[in-house]
Chains A and B, each alone.
Chain A
Amino acid sequence: MNFTVLLTVAVTVCLIGIALRLYVWFSQGIHPPPATSTLPQRLAAAAKALGGALFGPRLLTILKSIFLDLLFQQRVFDKNTLRWLAHGLIFTGFLLLFFLHALDSLITERLFSGYVSTLNPYLFLRNLFGVMVLAGVAIAVYRRITLRPQRLKTYAGDWAALVFVGGIILSGMLLEGTKMSSYSTFQRMVEEYGDVAGDEELQALEAFWVKDNGLVVAHKQVAVTSALVEQGREISGRSCIECHAANSSAFASFTLARITGPIAAAIGDAGAVNFLWYLHILFCLSFLAWLPFSKMFHIVSAPVSLIITRIMGKENGEPANVLTRQMIGLSACTHCGACSLECSSNMFFESFHNDFILPSEKVQFLKHIAAGKELDPATLKKLQQGLYICTSCDRCTNICPSGINLKELFVSSRYALLDRGIPETSMLSHFSFPLALAQSYVGDHRKALQVVEQLFRKSFTALADMVRPLTLEKGGTFSNPSYRSCYSCQRCTNICPVVRSYDNPGEALGMLPHQIIFSLGIGKVDLAMGAQMIWSCSTCYLCQEHCPNQVELCDIFYRLKNAAIAKIEEGGRS
């Protein structure tokens, strides 16, 4: 197939992909439901915000962001030098190769009048940039492998990105190296540009290129004597050197040529050059076509996200822009895992084995929610739990190299999911505390809490609802045996600040602290588990501290809470 056809296909796919992703920016969102603002409304709001930013004092902030956040990558630099180095090497090397080499006829030729790709410094620089990219890729691979125990997840897409980038460079180097060793390329060059008189001179030139420039001649014997080489050097000087520097300056390809040269010559050097050319072009063009559909789209979205974050911080702007910012953020995630490595909740992942506890895994998955995709209940439940098990420490938001406002995304999606009415038992944890402080989604929170309360009422019988008299249960044991020492003085209930908060505590709390201990005494663990008291316990430990018989009331309440949640979760699974 013709190169132009391939290029056209790749560019078309890439442009369609970019258009689709931009459409998603303005058409999808997580919470509140996307229907609240239409596409034209969101475009208008975005245009207004953009206009305001470009034609106002914020322009300086944008310029600062371009230098600090985009070019220098300050957010990564502040956190991890090795990762910064890897990104910097790939970013710089790849970009320079793209402009100076891939677009040489558009850029380099116009900038530098004497540009010939086989001359220095171009020959050398191409290799330098290529080696930079490869070094960056090597660090990235090393990081992905060594950080696996630290809960860094790697998907096929992450490896694909590294394979593409590395593949482009390696295939390019192999192509260049094979061309150096190829006799047919040599012949073509001599015919086109050479000033060679007769076979004798040609032999001398061959000898020189074999000796100094990695040419491999397999089909005939080439005498490489010093006299011939010297003569060849002279011929080369007058007919080649003007447009072709010594191959050794392309140090990487030249080194590779020493290994691949004999192989290429054995299987047919013209074919090998042709094959590698196609391989290199295919790598480049398929990368181009794949880019908008992969995490590599961050080349477009991360700069936008970073500039927005530099201007707005963690604050939300215009309501119509909130969803758009969410979507830009989601598309800017590179799945680098920096957030998960520093996530405060990362140890809870080890307990619950739920990938969604890790911020990097949540953010990767949220695009399905934003797209309104139907998900199976089990996945939804896991995602909801993962979204809830979060200390709201904002570390992920502060660390994200793409400047994604993860905090806002996670809080919004948390309530978007809870809105579906699936009970979330982790709401009963202290992860709810920062949410109560923030006072956002107050109504949604209360509603979701009621769903959990209903589930509790359904799962446990309250003391007040019992019709038959209480009977002694046999073999009733509880993991904390201190309840057995209770001698019914009721000091616990009398000192409890929660009990004294109610006019009719028995009704409000289901059971009073001493009654819970009594019910454990007669083996009614389930009855104790269903009492509102354990969830109204302020965990102040006054009862436990003041108990004359060392009944560990507060610890027992914690145990009961744990057991009640476990029982409900068990019921949900069966």
Chain B
Amino acid sequence: MKFAFFQGCNIPVRIEQYADSTEAVLQTFGIELVRIPEFNCCGYPMRNVDEKAYIMPSVRNMAIAEKAGLDIVVICNCCFASLQKARNVLATDPALQEEFNTLLAKEGLAYHGTTRIRHYLTVLHEDVGIEAIRNRLVNTCKGLKLSVIHGCHILRPREVTQFDDSFVPRITDEIVGVTGATSLDWRGRMECCGAALAGLNDELSRRLLQEKITGARQAGADCITPICSYCHLQFDTTQTNMATETPGTQVLPVLLLPQLLGLCLGLDERRLGIARNRTIAASDIDHIKSLLGPPVEEKKKKVRQQAA
């Protein structure tokens, strides 16, 4: 299976480890992610300013994928939502589609809406499947407690994003569950990390972030697992910035979902770039690795099932 890999602007320069670990995990299941240098920004940063300027870049990106005959796989929530939003808007606005197509034609591109936008978690959950993941596990990570934060733009508005159940999401829980780790039920699980306010109202943005850090800690999390790249940057970079400003603060380590999954699939931790997360200390990594163990029970069960 082959997909066009839409990384957006933040991941290639600030969170390479997210792309690398996702690629490594999907590759284990024979899924190839093609990097396309022609992709531009998804448009999201312009959303506050102008709706049309926000949508147009995503239309070009989809036209590029269409030309390559590939569906798009996205990591970042905001990129995901932008692409889905553009698809959604154009589906009901043929005049706008024509306007954009006139513009795209200059570059030899055209948008017809044939490219599907997939989140990598949906690909893992639907195309690969939990059982297939379980069968490939080399380790489980029993005892690790994670606070997954979904990020807003992947879940809502549900009519646009079409990802999981926006009120009771289960994809992340099932994927974390298969690794043996615990996905905690905690207050901030489906709430905002404050990224959309950073640079506009830093105080409020950090207050929302701090609320989530405190919430995850109170729930007893060893690590926080952001799904969205903006959330990641809030928890990994802004949290570090905040900790530098207030010495003595203990940071809550960030562990990305494909990094955890990669460890359990026996992938090299350097390839997963775990140490590149700024908030994770060597001792945190050692702790996580100490929890890794062969998936004994499941295998026995399976053998028994097969025998029966």
Contact = CB atoms under 8 A, between A and B. Distances in A.
A510 to B, nearest CB: 13
Contact of A149 (B14, B106, B158): B106
Given A437-B233, A540-B156, A542-B156, A346 B40 contact: yes
Interface in B24-56: 37, 40-41, 43-53, 56
A391 B9 contact: yes
Interface in A400-439: 425-437, 439
Interface in B187-204: 191-192, 194-202, 204
B308 interface: no
Interface string A526-548: 00000000011111111011000
Contact of A436 (B13, B108, B199): B199
B152 A541 contact: yes
A490 interface: no
Contacts of A432: 198-200
A562 B57 CA distance: 17
A542 B108 CA distance: 40
Contacts of B155: 541, 545
B198 A437 contact: yes
Interface hub of A540, A555, A561 (most chain B Cβ within 10 A): A540
B129 interface: no
A393 to B, nearest CB: 4
B241 interface: yes
B158 A545 contact: yes
Contacts of B196: 430, 433, 537-540
B10 interface: yes
B128 to A, nearest CB: 28
B91 to A, nearest CB: 16
Interface string A207-243: 0000000000000000000000000000000000000
A559 B49 CA distance: 9
Contact of B107 (A150, A425, A431, A566): A150
B40 A345 contact: yes
Contacts of B207: 501
Nearest to B230: A433
Contacts of B13: 392-395
Please list the 8 inter-chain residue pairs (A to B) with the smallest Cβ-Cβ separation, ordered nearest first: A432-B199, A541-B156, A351-B53, A436-B199, A540-B192, A393-B9, A347-B57, A430-B45
17 contacts: A149-B108, A150-B107, A352-B53, A391-B9, A391-B45, A392-B13, A433-B198, A434-B199, A436-B202, A436-B238, A501-B207, A535-B200, A535-B201, A536-B204, A538-B196, A541-B157, A542-B192
A449 B52 CA distance: 24
B96 interface: no
Interface residues of B, number: 55
A346 to B, nearest CB: 6
Contact of A393 (B12, B44, B194): B12
A497 B191 contact: yes
B267 interface: no
Contacts of A497: 191-192, 208, 211
Interface in A133-163: 149-150
B60 interface: yes
A515 interface: no
Nearest to A553: B157
Contacts of B12: 393, 395
Nearest to B60: A347
A547 to B, nearest CB: 10
B134 interface: no
A74 to B, nearest CB: 17
Contacts of B56: 347, 350-351
A501 B204 contact: yes
Interface hub of A346, A347, A538 (most chain B Cβ within 10 A): A347
A342 B36 CA distance: 11
A445 B200 CA distance: 9
Contacts of B208: 497-498, 501, 538
A98 interface: no
B249 to A, nearest CB: 16
Given A342-B37, A542-B191, 11 more contacts: A150-B107, A350-B103, A351-B50, A352-B53, A389-B46, A428-B200, A437-B233, A439-B241, A497-B208, A539-B153, A558-B51
Contacts of B107: 149-150
B157 A348 contact: no
A107 B158 CA distance: 74
A552 interface: yes
Nearest to B191: A497
A552 B157 contact: yes
B205 interface: yes
Contacts of A286: none
A545 to B, nearest CB: 5
Contacts of B194: 538
A151 to B, nearest CB: 9
Contacts of A562: 48-51
Interface in B219-269: 230, 233, 237-238, 241
